[in-house]
Structure 1
């Protein structure tokens, strides 16, 4: 086990510790919108994961997860991209990534378009070009590549929850779609 892996593993909170922190503090997350671009950098496709929610619902989602204590944002992005897309995804995350937006998730609906009934969370959102082979991992059931037009279809957006549909729309607008 490497020193970085050891440091990350010691940063995990028990279920009780995490629940307690969620009641008192905003939790930092990263969201990643995986994309395929052509040689000129023009957007070709955007990837959405298919997951089973805790309530047994099947939903589409972005790559998302917590930033651990002592973990750099870039490392958290790479960790979650590998966790969801597999080790051969080859994401292109710059040395000093800049989010395209910041999303504030509240446990009360209506404060922002972003809702997480478990907690108050702040998410740094990134658009990440992916060059390799993606193979959904962990709790991701499937990965689907959509054209920008397909990703913006009401039927696809309706499959996303917690405001991730809004985040996807922001990302595509940011890319000029």
Structure 2
């Protein structure tokens, strides 16, 4: 079984209204939420073997805040993940090394929730279904697949196992 951990970047700063979107860092709440959600990933035994990141400062910083809790993991930025749609996210997921058992993707809305919905086989519990209507910053979704190779993962081939947000944990 392989697992996919989808993470929306933590809360970003709007303190500089002239700053380009891709360059916005996390604010204080975002820095705290990233670490909190990393602890949740550990608790759920879903620490990734590989990580794909959008190149946006807020996604990279989200991962940097998670890393001390999750440990050193191969992480790569992928330019196409910046505001990616589900088709793009699937292609990137499918390119993951077969050695990885759990892959994390740190990205943006609306792509993250749309990707979770499209991957899902449709058998979704109420706590997970809320991810499709509201996937807040630092939100975390975990899906699993029986596929042995990432290249074989398709839409509707995954089981939606978990969804949580920072407010659920405090």
**TM-score normalised per structure 1:** 0.26
Ranked by relative contact order (alpha carbons within 8 Å, sequence separation 6 or more), the top structure is 2
For the pair shown, the structure with the greater C-alpha radius of gyration is 1
Which structure carries more strand by proportion? 1
Which structure carries more helix by proportion? 2
**TM-score normalised per structure 2:** 0.27
